[in-house]
Structure 1
Amino acid sequence: MSLPDLAWQIAYGRLAWAIVVAAMLVALWPAARRLPRGVLAAVLAASALSMALPGEASPAYWLGLGFQYPSGMLVGLCLLGLRARWQGEAAGAQAGAQSVDFMPLSVAAAIAIAGTALYLDAIGWLSQGYYYAGFGPVGAPTVALIGTAGCALALLRGRGSRQNGALLGALLLFTLLRLPSGNLWDAVLDPLLWGWALVTLARAALRRLAGAPALGKAAPIEQFSISKE
């Protein structure tokens, strides 16, 4: 087992929470209206500065107590949402242009299944040691390297998606620095990302049951909400 350097872990936590919180705040802006870049920059700056505050004055401290560290995958998807808002893609999607895919249903299903298996294992209903396998000295790095190579090859061949880029970043983060926790699962999955996947699948199911038009292939981050337990 190889754990990340504590200094890198703290720095990652503050930066990652700054990105995730900024994306959630930006999601409150109506999707049909273009978000001014000045407002977006101000939100990003305010989020980063607040997370950089020392000790308990930083929201990252309290968020870390409740949720530990955001996964690299969640951070990557939030960056996709912020980038889309910066380029005005979200507003264009509401006006009838091509939709912005952040969480396709296939990705949401994979995350939901993996997360459910991990959490059932963690509370003892499965007791197979799935989570602790992510600390493995051989298996976890090997899986990460294979996944990294697969994502990179897909992107080089022009077959990669936005989500492939986010996954590639998460796997590289784990492979090079063992962030965020030294566990492979924590690099690609966390409670917030799992909740987002469940919300995406639930909304798609409800729309289908109601006979409404399908969501397409994704649920934009603007529609992602977190309920505090």
Structure 2
Amino acid sequence: MEECYIKMKDANLYYPSDLYNAMTLKQEVFSRLKLQKTKERLDDVHALKDFNLEIHEGERLGVIGFNGAGKSTLLKALAGLYPIRTGIIESKGKIRSMFELTLGFDMESTGRENIINRGLMLGGTPKEVAAKEEEIIDFAELGQFIDYPIRSYSSGMLVRLAFAISTSVTGDILLVDEVLSAGDINFQAKAKKRMLSVMDQAKILVLVLHDMSTIKEVCNRTILLDKGRIVADGKPDEVVKEYLSRLSN
């Protein structure tokens, strides 16, 4: 059986300038009436630049860098959410991404209904989702509230449900963006233990996290990004040291 992998070669990703240049109706009217200065138009943002990266089965890759370095952009490119303009991205294996945990929730539906909807969105089959339903409810600690519309949930209840659903479906390649600290302090220890178990099952892990101690604990390789490029690639201790050195300068 062929091993899982991810390969990026000379990949360039841009954010379209329309995202930044668009004006609200109010801004448009004020601009035409000369009541507000017309904002300067921006060019497309070059988010990933001639990006080259190979990740092979068994690697737990930590991705670190300053805000705006391209960490989350990289994950979303790997997940196929952001298209590259030039270059190549290839992968072998089922990709599972954990980004915005509550994405796809219907606030008018019950917790139970959202388990089904969100589980299917994450790639689970109806049979798989149904088999995990009670375990998800138990882990999220929702009790009878599982049959209430989630608009009535507290923020903590919503996060617990979202986390329990998101960690119930696994894949060969797991892309994780800052979700280890889900929920309140009482839930976090349980959540971290479950998250580590999910990550351990993946054949490839790509983890974006600001917690350097966890990066060193979980990962066997780390890359440091700066302005859309890889500036360091190696053992977590060494790359984290380079990041902290740049942070202090």
TM-score, with structure 1 as normaliser: 0.27
Q: Which has the larger radius of gyration?
A: 2
TM-score, with structure 2 as normaliser: 0.25
Which structure exhibits the higher relative contact order, with contacts defined as CA atoms closer than 8 Å and separated by 6 or more residues?
Answer: 1
Structure (1 or 2) with the greater helix fraction: 1
